[in-house]
Amino acid sequence: MDNPEAPINTVRMEHESDILIIGGGLNGPALALALADQGFCVKIIDALPANARASDDFDGRSYALALASQRLLAALGLWDHLCDNSQPILEVKVTDGRAGEGPAPFMLHMHHGEIEEGPLGYMLEDRFLYRALADAIAAHPAITLISGRTVTDQETDATGATITLDCGEQHCARLLAGCDGRRSGTAQRAGIRRQGHDYGQTALVCAIEHETPHNGIAHQFFMPSGPLAILPLPGRRTSIVWSTTTEEATRINALPDAGYLEVLKPRFGSFLGTIRLAGKRFTYPLDLTLAERYVVPRVALVGDAAHGVHPIAGQGLNLGLRDVAALAEVLTEARRRGEDFASLSVLERYQRWRRFDSTVLALGMDTVNMLFSNDNSLLRLGRDLGLGLVNALPALKRRFIREAAGLAGDLPRLMQGRPI
Amino acid sequence: MQTEENTTDPAELAKFEAMAAEWWDPDGKFKPLHMLNPCRLDYVTSQIADWFGRNLSDTGPLKGLRILDIGCGGGLLSEPVARLGATVTGADAAAGNIPVARIHARAQGLDIDYRHTTAEALAAAGEQYDVVLNMEVVEHVPDPQAFLDVCARLLGPGGLMICSTINRNPKSYLMAIIGAEHIMRWLPKGTHDWRKFITPDELFEKLQAAGLSPIDRKGFVFNPLAWSWSLSDRDLSVNYVTASVKPA
């Protein structure tokens, strides 16, 4: 019917897949599953070789999954495999501490009994979460994984996006989803600028084995040099996320294990008995990086690619999974009503939904961190009064708890335990 | 079905491509329609799926259904229902819209029969459809009853008509004319004449007089906080939509 000579060069009728996901970390595979479950055909491009991420041994990395994130994993059919290896967080105690003195009496105590939904969250080791995601994407007929390839070029037109890999291969789809982290190449190639802030702080991350049981209690100590999170893992093991000035972190990280432990011990006292290291030690520089836009025509950014936050309270992964659930819902609804699901007007719904949420959270954590990483006695008095006040007012406290469990705000359906 | 107007003159084509870009720019001249569109589509697609027993999660859920979109403009409704598998005819009395809609649909890989014609001409030619989309048109025609009579003739037995328009009351005057035309400048001044607005009861009467059985009505409600539209069972005070069927 058509005149093939007509000067319309925007036509690309066939796409090999609906969505190309750049990044094979955690958000990428989670997004692939959420979309493939809704009938989208998905391809993941991972820069790392196939076996680089899989590790059967505990390497010390773990996540504090908010309850909402756990529900998403359950909706994706992953929780049955993860449940036995997870540790429910039954209580969170937030305390203001000072180096050398150990923690002061706790100021805010959140107990899961104060909300009806269940535990506040779950601790889960990276190796189990990654393995569950990898197995599920390998088993899903609508997902293709290309490992060990980086994207060298990306182009968009009126109907889709085409990427070129380092091997010269080209792939096209209606939508490109950048799940490629805080230094997202997808964002860069799309011309999306970022705003950043370097805290001059670095997180030291490790896991310890200890003598006395943790009883599912998580602790957050706010120290003048930065917060210290003590998060219960299955068994008598605990994950430590310890933020301090980059200078000090570099010094501490250079110490041998014994010296490292000697610095760590006095910071949180002796309530877990004798401690020793379990797994490797990691350092992560803390910086905040927000993409100016989360979407441009045919491209959407997810997780750290859109908003890299630092790992206080494990919000990075939780925010990312919230993006995953929101984007999957927006795209699925758009396709159900016959819209071009990768059009800008559809993608903007995702951006409107998520940008407000994550900017507020990023700035909120920023403020919390700056407020607490400070030894000014006036600020200290103010924050102690503040935490004490929250603790004393049940309604306010329930809001805090629901916020910590990831249940606040406009929750995507997959995180409410409902189908899309 | 392609006419000459969109393939012969490159300058003309470029002009229509620019107009197509305008029609489909979510922040452009037709922003209010783009904002309302997801909500309209939710209603249209769910009513069609319910009436014809289709599941919108299936691939090509509207396959086999013949749909007429009256006043199709740039194809904001025609394209989605075509994407869901329906066989779509888009009719517009404004000649300029037709090549614009064609160019966009083609770039999207969609096959839609766009025609510069009127409901009257289609009815006179004896055309009949499973679904007639009659959205935001009634308030612009000189004789709504005569127009709805013609639309009813365009439905085959057991066919479904979705008809949306604007209610007539002080609030709708404030929202649709003062608000949308004068304050927000969403629409050009003079787009609507308040006297042509129709209450839901009046519309139901007219639909019945045209031989159709009304089966549903809902409001389109704008939420300024979420900056988006949603469907309401109760609030039909400004924009609203109805579904009615032709007896088999």
Residue A110 identity: M
* Tokens linked to B61: 């859920």
- Continuous H helices in B93-196: 97-107, 119-124, 144-153, 170-172
Quick check: B80 and A13 CB within 8 A?
no
Is the CB of residue A419 less than 8 Å away from at least one CB of chain B?
no
What torsion, rounded to 10 degrees, do the Cα atoms A115, A116, A120, A123 define? 170
The one-character DSSP state at A104 is P
Query: What confidence category does residue B193 fall into, taking pLDDT thresholds of 50, 70 and 90?
Result: confident
pLDDT computed for residue A420 by the predictor? 83
Q: Which helix (H) or strand (E) holds A355?
A: helix A344-372
Reply yes or no on whether the pLDDT at B18 is more than 80: no
pLDDT computed for residue A293 by the predictor? 93
pLDDT computed for residue A101 by the predictor? 55
Q: For residue range A270-309, list pLDDT tens digits in order.
A: 788 888 998 889 888 877 888 989 999 999 999 999 988 7
Question: CA A327, CA A305: separation in Å to the nearest integer?
Answer: 14
Question: CA B164, CA B70: separation in Å to the nearest integer?
Answer: 12
pLDDT computed for residue A392 by the predictor? 60
Instruction: Give me the domains of chain A, ranges plus CATH numbers.
Output: 17-415 (3.50.50.60)
Name which of A11, A336, A343 is nearest B56 (Cβ-Cβ): A336
Question: CA A99, CA A301: separation in Å to the nearest integer?
Answer: 39
Phi, psi of B120 (to 5 degrees): -60, -45
Contact B77, B41 (CB under 8 A): yes
Q: For residue range A309-341, list pLDDT tens digits in order.
A: 765 556 788 889 999 999 999 999 999 999 999
The string of DSSP codes covering A139-162 is: H-TTEEEEES--EEEEEE-SS-EE
Name which of A13, A39, A352 is nearest B109 (Cβ-Cβ): A13
Q: Which residues in chain A are contacts of B83 at CB distance < 8 A?
A: 338-340
Burial of A256 (0-12, 13-18, 19+ CB in 10 A): exposed
Reply yes or no on whether the pLDDT at B25 is more than 80: yes
Rg of chain A's alpha carbons, rounded to an integer?
22
Contact A228, A97 (CB under 8 A): yes
Closest to B159 (Cα-Cα) out of B63, B66, B57, B78: B66
- Residue A32 makes CB contacts below 8 A (sequence gap 6+) with A19, A21, A42, A44, A137, A140, A143
Phi, psi of B223 (to 5 degrees): -105, 105
- Residue A42 makes CB contacts below 8 A (sequence gap 6+) with A17, A18, A19, A20, A21, A32, A35, A36, A142, A143, A144
Q: Which residues in chain B are contacts of A334 at CB distance < 8 A?
A: 38
Name which of A3, A333, A338 is nearest B83 (Cβ-Cβ): A338
pLDDT computed for residue A244 by the predictor? 87
* Tokens linked to A396: 């306010």
Burial of A360 (0-12, 13-18, 19+ CB in 10 A): exposed
Q: Which residues in chain A are contacts of B56 at CB distance < 8 A?
A: 336-337
Q: Note the residue count of chain A.
A: 420
Q: For residue range B83-100, list pLDDT tens digits in order.
A: 999 999 999 988 888 998
- Across the range B194-202, mean pLDDT stands at 89
The one-character DSSP state at A356 is H
| Beta strand A194-210 pairing with A237-245 | antiparallel
Stretches in chain A below the pLDDT threshold 50: 1-13, 99-100
pLDDT computed for residue A216 by the predictor? 92
To the nearest whole Å, the CA of A335 is away from the closest chain B CA by 8
pLDDT computed for residue B7 by the predictor? 36
Q: CA-based angle A12:A15:A18, to the nearest 5?
A: 130
Asked whether the CA dihedral A318, A320, A323, A324 is positive or negative, the reply is negative
Nearest CA in chain B to A347: B26
pLDDT computed for residue A228 by the predictor? 84
Q: For residue range B137-170, list pLDDT tens digits in order.
A: 998 888 999 999 999 999 999 999 999 999 988 8
ipTM of the complex in this document = 0.86
Measured CA distances, B39 to B53, B146, B223, B243 (Å) = 21, 28, 12, 15
Counting one residue from chain A and one from chain B, the pairs whose CB atoms sit within 8 A come to: 66
> 3-class DSSP state for residue A3?
coil
Quick check: A337 and B59 CB within 8 A?
no
pLDDT computed for residue A9 by the predictor? 36
Give one word for A80, left, alpha or beta, with left for phi > 0 and alpha for psi -120 to 50. alpha
Reply yes or no on whether the pLDDT at B136 is more than 70: yes
Burial of A410 (0-12, 13-18, 19+ CB in 10 A): exposed
In SS3 terms, A269-290 reads as CCCCCCEEECCCCEEEEEEEEE
pLDDT computed for residue B211 by the predictor? 97
Q: Which residues in chain B are contacts of A11 at CB distance < 8 A?
A: 106-107, 109
E runs forming strands in B150-190: 155-166
To the nearest whole Å, the CA of A9 is away from the closest chain B CA by 8
Name which of B6, B34, B80 is nearest A338 (Cβ-Cβ): B80
Q: For residue range B42-83, list pLDDT tens digits in order.
A: 999 999 999 999 999 999 999 999 999 999 999 999 999 999
pLDDT computed for residue B3 by the predictor? 41
Give A189's Cβ-side CA count (13 Å radius): 23
- Residue B187 makes CB contacts below 8 A (sequence gap 6+) with B32, B180, B181
Query: Which residues does B contribute to its contact with A (CB < 8 Å)?
Result: 1-2, 6-7, 10, 13, 17, 26, 34, 37-38, 41-42, 45, 56-57, 59, 62, 79-84, 103, 106-109, 111, 227-228
The one-character DSSP state at B180 is I
CATH for B4-245?
Answer: 3.40.50.150
- Residue A138 makes CB contacts below 8 A (sequence gap 6+) with A145
Quick check: B109 and A6 CB within 8 A?
no
Share of chain B above pLDDT 90, in %: 63
- CB atoms under 10 Å from CB of B196, counted, come to 15
The one-character DSSP state at B155 is E
Contact A38, A202 (CB under 8 A): no
Closest to B218 (Cα-Cα) out of B33, B53, B44: B44
Contact A119, A90 (CB under 8 A): yes
Chain A 146-205, CB below 8 Å of chain B: which residues?
Answer: 158-159
- Residue A26 makes CB contacts below 8 A (sequence gap 6+) with A129, A130, A133, A303, A317, A320, A321
